[in-house]
Homo-oligomer: A and B are copies of this chain.
């Protein structure tokens, strides 16, 4: 790293020195109540977008407000005039755009603040508070996502302050509807695909693995959700007159649900595990090194025993194995007291979490076939497909991933890990599907940030080391290959 120290170290020093000003800017940003879901805050959302444009322009970035039918997007570009379009490493000074063309995504809108009486302060009057665990920035949006977004902007500012220009070609892309379902996002991405095209997306909306271990989320589970109804008799029956002779659709439903898993907790649908990869030895070693405290993870919600496939580790159950869950069930009499009804119908909402290259449509079809094949006489079934998206697995063999992981490892007490996310993060899928690029999900949030809840906070350590982390990553991704 000797050759690069002169490039990176002054930036890190600048970040440390300018932290008070950076914090002040974040507090200013946090004072704008940009609640996207509530029309009363429409002007505030626009104001937050305008504030970001001002920040970016101060860094020499060509940034503009881009109207949508909802809240505006902010798009900015830098380095595009000084590099060739391939973005390949052709040597030269740090400011001339070597390395991949990066796109940084964040969102400036925040969640509503109800219940307001559970807040210890005005959610839009932010402050730095001293706590037993250190300083925190307290406000709605402090962690999700204004604080995280600003870690990248402040890293760029420090770089600009030191080197007079940013280290490569970067597109900035901010939306204001993430907390209200992102209705304008996909249309905007499709309409502006050429402009938004880049080599890799950077997204700062996730968390650390724990306070010592940074993480790059490289795998997100996909989802197949559907609702189905078993129909039996033409009307609800009296269980005295018909109990024993008439088929009970709730019993049919229970048998179908019960048959979806075997004794080892594996899903029994034919072909279900097609496309489910085994972990590489490298990732398995990384995850073992995380010493995931599944007992605490489960104890936090009143549980103690991992309930998935009996031959899998707890982290595998959440990050790298598919699952099947009933999300809702209803049928018959569900009110107070008792009614000896033999119901005509039973209903179920069910979803599969997918990994690897599992095909949502194939799994949907396999489930439909399973239900139809196992439907007893006199029953019919109707299906309503609700959601379907494949899992996302980033191409970590792209050297950029390993460079970023090393850069994070240099900043934090312990090495960074490639982690999974049991849920879906739609934006990552959109970048892949619409713009054909992988996303690097790197964030500095902590489990106790209380995002979406009263008293949201962002640790000052997350903010400070987050800015430093991005400086290191910018350096790593744009550093000439032969340096060092």
Contacts and interface: CB of A to CB of B under 8 A. Distances in A.
A317 interface: yes
A330 B333 CA distance: 9
Nearest to A257: B254
Interface string A247-270: 110110111011101000000000
A373 interface: no
Contact of A333 (B298, B303, B327, B331): B327
Contact of A347 (B314, B334, B343): B334
Contact of A329 (B239, B307, B331, B421): B331
Contacts of A334: 328-330, 347, 349
Nearest to A316: B244
Contacts of A308: 244-245
A343 B342 CA distance: 25
A337 interface: yes
Interface of A: 221, 223, 225, 227, 232-235, 237-248, 250-251, 253-255, 257-259, 261, 294, 297-298, 301-309, 314, 317-318, 321-323, 325-334, 337-343, 346-347, 349, 351, 353, 376-378, 386-387, 421-424
B424 A240 contact: yes
Given A239-B327, A328-B341, A330-B330, A247 B423 contact: no
13 contacts: A223-B240, A235-B302, A241-B318, A244-B322, A248-B326, A257-B258, A302-B378, A327-B338, A327-B339, A327-B343, A328-B333, A328-B339, A330-B334
Contact of A255 (B258, B330, B343, B387): B258
Given A258-B254, A303-B232, A339-B327, A314 B349 contact: no
A129 to B, nearest CB: 27
Given A251-B326, A254-B257, A304-B377, 13 more contacts: A237-B301, A239-B423, A241-B423, A242-B301, A244-B307, A304-B378, A326-B331, A327-B340, A328-B343, A334-B349, A337-B386, A338-B386, A338-B387
B246 A307 contact: yes
Contacts of A245: 294, 297-298, 306-308, 314, 317-318
| Closest 5 A/B residue pairs (Cβ) | A240-B423, A234-B302, A244-B323, A328-B332, A254-B257
Contact of A250 (B251, B257, B323): B257
Given A254-B253, A303-B233, A244 B422 contact: yes
B248 A325 contact: yes
Contacts of A227: 338
Contacts of A244: 307-309, 317-318, 321-323, 353, 422
Interface centre among A254, A302, A321, A341 (most CB of B within 10 A): A254
B223 A329 contact: no
A378 B248 contact: no
Contact of A301 (B246, B305, B347): B246
Contact of A305 (B259, B346, B378): B378
Nearest to A303: B378
Contacts of A421: 240
Contacts of A241: 318, 422-423
Contacts of A378: 298, 302-305, 307
